[in-house]
């Protein structure tokens, strides 16, 4: 492109699943993680792999992936299973260059809920999620300037997840996947900018997990891995401002009247992780992490 260019890419996905039964099992799957439920991985990206942009003037790019999921399973006599899963990326595998100023924004946002309720058997609510603003971004090379003017780069990832499992006579399990939910603002980024640069990576999560059983065991599990900026390689000819911000709220509750109750809440949060930065002028680097993680379990057996 020989002159200024503004590029906007947006991807929206909404998945709803509802299952109900009075005499058998009820299974509702909204999105998949490729795991034990046999579903394929559900993914959403604002910009997909392999895009190469070369702009002759001022370049502005905005990529958004925004998802919403809801799974509800209700049964009287059978097993209730509600599952939700999605991987979101603002942009993946992007090559970008602009002769003048360059501004890039990548956002991934997800809101998901899974609710399982059974009167006579087990209730299971499962979730498996990931979100990343930019994953694999090359702006120039070590010897070639990618942005000829002022560089502005922002990556934002956000997940809000709620899981509820409730059973009267059976076990209740509510948990986020076999591993962790991952949230990353910027990952694997190289930027060669001729002038000043501002880089911001934010990762935020809000998770609520609850398992309740009257007659049997109740188990709640929730684990997250958050990074504001991971693997930033930077060459700036002017001043540089780098900010990495991480916030997570993680609550897990497990309650049983007649059985055992177990609740586990785990968070691994890092603001700025890895990379090499060379800044010719003044540099301001800030990394901020805020975590509120809590697990409660009660049993009256």
Q: What is the pLDDT along the chain (301 residues), one digit of tens a residue?
A: 668 999 999 999 999 999 999 989 999 999 875 455 445 578 999 998 888 999 999 999 999 999 999 999 999 999 999 999 999 999 999 999 999 999 999 999 999 999 999 999 999 999 999 999 999 999 999 999 999 999 999 999 999 999 999 999 999 999 976 668 999 999 999 999 999 999 999 999 999 999 999 999 999 999 999 999 999 999 999 999 999 999 999 999 999 999 999 999 999 999 999 999 999 999 999 999 999 999 999 998 6
Task: Supply the pLDDT for residue 210.
Answer: 98
Q: Report the predicted TM-score, pTM, of the whole model to 2 decimal places.
A: 0.94
Count of Cβ atoms closer than 10 Å to residue 244 Cβ: 26
Work out whether the CA dihedral 135, 141, 142, 148 comes out positive or negative: negative
Short-list 57, 67, 157, CA closest to 105: 157
Task: Supply the pLDDT for residue 48.
Answer: 83
CB 12 within 8 A of CB 67: yes
Task: Please indicate, yes or no, if residue 277 is contained in any of the structural domains.
Answer: yes
Label residue 50 exposed, middle or buried (CB < 10 Å: 0-12, 13-18, 19+): exposed
Task: Please indicate, yes or no, if residue 139 is contained in any of the structural domains.
Answer: yes
Distance of CA 190 to the CA centre of its chain: 22
Number of domains in the chain: 1
Distance CA 30, CA 114 (A): 9
Short-list 13, 47, 48, CA closest to 31: 13
Short-list 97, 116, 109, CA closest to 25: 116
Count of Cβ atoms closer than 10 Å to residue 293 Cβ: 17
The β-bridge relationship of strands 5-21 and 59-75 is: parallel
CA distances from 209 to 215, 275, 297 (A): 20, 35, 12
Question: For the chain, first and last CA: distance in Å?
Answer: 70
Distance of CA 83 to the CA centre of its chain: 17
Short-list 93, 121, 110, CA closest to 25: 121
CB 93 within 8 A of CB 49: yes
Residue listed under structure tokens 């003044």: 282
Task: Please indicate, yes or no, if residue 10 is contained in any of the structural domains.
Answer: no
Task: Please indicate, yes or no, if residue 88 is contained in any of the structural domains.
Answer: yes
List the structure tokens of 239.
Answer: 């001043």
Task: Please indicate, yes or no, if residue 201 is contained in any of the structural domains.
Answer: yes
Task: Supply the pLDDT for residue 157.
Answer: 98
Distance CA 165, CA 180 (A): 19
The torsion of the CA quartet 186, 247, 158, 18, rounded to 10 degrees, works out to 150
Task: Please indicate, yes or no, if residue 7 is contained in any of the structural domains.
Answer: no
Task: Supply the pLDDT for residue 180.
Answer: 85
Task: Please indicate, yes or no, if residue 158 is contained in any of the structural domains.
Answer: yes
Task: Please indicate, yes or no, if residue 8 is contained in any of the structural domains.
Answer: no
Domain span at 63? 26-299
């Amino acid at each position: 492109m020989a002159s200024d260019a503004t590029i906007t890419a947006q991807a929206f996905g909404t998945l709803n699943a509802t299952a109900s039964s009075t005499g058998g099992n009820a299974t509702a799957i909204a999105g998949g993680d490729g795991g034990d439920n046999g579903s394929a991985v559900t993914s959403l990206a604002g910009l997909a792999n392999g895009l190469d942009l070369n702009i002759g003037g001022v370049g502005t790019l905005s990529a958004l992936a925004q998802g919403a999921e809801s799974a509800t399973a209700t049964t009287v006599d059978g097993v209730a299973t509600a599952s939700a899963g999605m991987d979101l990326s603002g942009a993946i595998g992007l090559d970008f260059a602009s002769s003048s100023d360059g501004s890039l924004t990548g956002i991934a946002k997800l809101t998901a809920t899974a609710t399982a309720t059974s009167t006579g058997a087990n209730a299971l609510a499962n979730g498996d999620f990931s979100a990343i603003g930019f994953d694999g971004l090359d702006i120039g090379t070590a010897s070639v300037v990618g942005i000829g003017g002022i560089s502005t780069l922002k990556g934002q990832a956000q997940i809000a997840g709620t899981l509820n499992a409730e059973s009267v006579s059976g076990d209740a399990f509510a948990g986020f996947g076999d591993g962790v939910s991952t949230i990353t603002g910027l990952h694997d980024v190289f930027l060669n900018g001729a002038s000043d640069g501002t880089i911001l990576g934010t990762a935020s999560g809000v998770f609520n997990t609850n398992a309740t059983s009257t007659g049997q065991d109740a188990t709640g599990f929730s684990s997250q891995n958050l990074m504001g900026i991971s693997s930033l390689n930077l060459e700036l000819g002017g001043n540089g401002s780098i900010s990495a911000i991480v916030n997570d709220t993680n609550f897990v509750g497990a309650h049983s009247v007649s059985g055992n109750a177990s609740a586990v809440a785990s968070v691994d949060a890092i603001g700025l992780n890895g990379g090499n930065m060379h800044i010719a002028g003044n540099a301001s680097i800030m990394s901020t992490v805020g975590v509120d993680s809590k697990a409660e379990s009660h049993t009256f057996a």
